[in-house]
Amino acid sequence: MLPEVLLVSAPGKVILHGEHAVVHGKVALAVALNLRTFLRLQPHSDGKVALNLPNIGVMRTWDVARLQVLDTSFLEQGDVTPPTPEQVEKLKEVAGIPEDCAAPEHLSVLAFLYLYLAICQKQRWMEEDLELINKWAFQGERVIHGNPSGVDNAISTWGGALRYQQGKISSLKRPPVLQILLTNTKVPRSTKALVASVRNRLIKFPEIMAPLLTSIDAISVECERVLGEMVAAPAPEQYLVLEELIDMNQHHLNALGVGHAALDRLCQVTMAHGLHSKLTGAGGGGCGITLLKPGLERPEVEATKQALSSCGFDCWETSIGAPGVSVHSATSLDGHVWQALDGL
Ligand code: PMV
């Protein structure tokens, strides 16, 4: 008998402070969002494996038998292993992806194939072992952008709010429930290329760039301190400090060369409503976060969201500190999630 449908979800995440600096050994603060990605794993008896990622228009099907011819090199490895360049090339062939293609939808197919071959075939992925999930998610990140710091997979696995430095993770005990806007400028960018451009700038101007990274590190540390204080002894001034940290970091990230006109626009639009924003993640486009301080009137929030949408951006209102990767029973899921999954 085929096993039942398995429903899994993982939180969206943002880096509050420390993107790019974390690649160079500095502190990053990352938080899980109450915006989740749901995955429905459904067994089939037709000998095929299908991948459907509706949000980015990916719909692919493979014969399991055809994949099995390929997978011996993966199955022989006992533990979590980084993808070798040869394996990635082989996967590109199977997936019919051009060699030099870096489009996110193609990279996501590659990451899926790599993890499918390495994990699902071993029947190990059902284990509730967050360490293992985190390690494999890191390898998926490697397929996508080569040399990731590990902060993204860690926050999506563990959830909550994390301090991350050189593989060392500590959870913020009780992160305050901050409301934010997450805005997608829809400007495509390559994390790999942006990380490489920061590295090149660091090599070219070490005396200028190193202090910037040190300053970003200090911003992350100060933010962590304030977040702790906000729970222990909340005071309205703490939001002003968070806003100042956001502004300073955004200027630093521009100086690292990972800004973009669309992100400047995002910051200007929210500033016109008295709100402070910064890019989150690799920059060069992509997403920004805006802090929503308590006491904001609903019409003001709606007007800001409307202004961002008028720029052609997608905007979500959410809160930080969501649970990490989770398995759901069918009965515990919200009706709207079911509806969305059924519509696929
Ligand atoms: O935009 P994302 O989710 O790819 O985040 C990248 C964060 C960086 O610090 C720029 C890279 C990394 O591996 O930490």
Q: Could you tell me the CATH number of the domain that includes residue 223?
A: 3.30.70.890
How many angstroms is it from 298 CA to the middle of ligand 1? 32
Range of the domain at 214: 178-320
Q: Do 108 and 248 fall within a single domain?
A: no
135/128 Cα distance (integer angstroms)? 13
Q: Do 185 and 132 fall within a single domain?
A: no
Q: Do 143 and 189 fall within a single domain?
A: no
Q: Do 277 and 333 fall within a single domain?
A: no
Q: Do 31 and 78 fall within a single domain?
A: yes
How many CA atoms lie within 13 Å of 195's alpha carbon, on the beta-carbon side?
18
Residue 1 resides in a domain: no
| pLDDT tens over the chain, length 344 residues | 445 777 888 899 999 999 999 999 999 999 999 898 888 877 776 777 888 888 888 888 887 766 765 644 554 555 667 777 777 777 787 777 877 777 878 888 888 888 777 765 544 444 456 888 899 999 999 988 888 999 999 999 989 999 999 989 999 988 898 999 999 999 999 999 999 999 999 999 999 999 999 999 999 999 999 999 998 898 999 999 999 999 999 999 999 999 999 999 999 999 999 999 999 999 999 999 999 999 999 999 999 999 999 999 999 999 999 988 887 766 667 778 877 877 77
Q: Do 230 and 156 fall within a single domain?
A: no
Closest protein CA for atom 1 of ligand 1: 281
Helical segments of 146-205, H only = 151-158, 191-204
Residue 46 resides in a domain: yes
Residue 124 resides in a domain: yes
Q: Do 295 and 263 fall within a single domain?
A: yes
**Cβ burial, residue 55 (10 Å; 0-12/13-18/19+):** exposed
Closest protein CA for atom 14 of ligand 1: 149
Q: Do 151 and 183 fall within a single domain?
A: no
The reply to whether ligand 1 has any atom less than 6 angstroms from the CB of 195 is: yes
Q: Could you tell me the CATH number of the domain that includes residue 161?
A: 3.30.230.10
How many angstroms is it from 282 CA to the middle of ligand 1? 5
How many angstroms is it from 191 CA to the middle of ligand 1? 6
Q: Do 79 and 126 fall within a single domain?
A: yes
129/148 Cα distance (integer angstroms)? 22
Residue 310 resides in a domain: yes
Residues in contact with 75: Cβ distance below 8 Å, sequence separation at least 6, in sequence order? 117, 121, 122
Closest protein CA for atom 7 of ligand 1: 281
Q: Do 328 and 316 fall within a single domain?
A: no
Q: Do 138 and 26 fall within a single domain?
A: yes
Domain count along the chain: 2
The reply to whether ligand 1 has any atom less than 6 angstroms from the CB of 12 is: no
The reply to whether ligand 1 has any atom less than 6 angstroms from the CB of 19 is: yes
Helical segments of 48-97, H only = 64-70, 72-75, 85-95
Tell me the Ramachandran region of residue 13: left when phi exceeds 0, alpha when psi lies from -120 to 50, beta otherwise: beta
137/145 Cα distance (integer angstroms)? 12
How many angstroms is it from 283 CA to the middle of ligand 1? 9
Residue 28 resides in a domain: yes
Q: Do 108 and 195 fall within a single domain?
A: no
Closest protein CA for atom 3 of ligand 1: 281
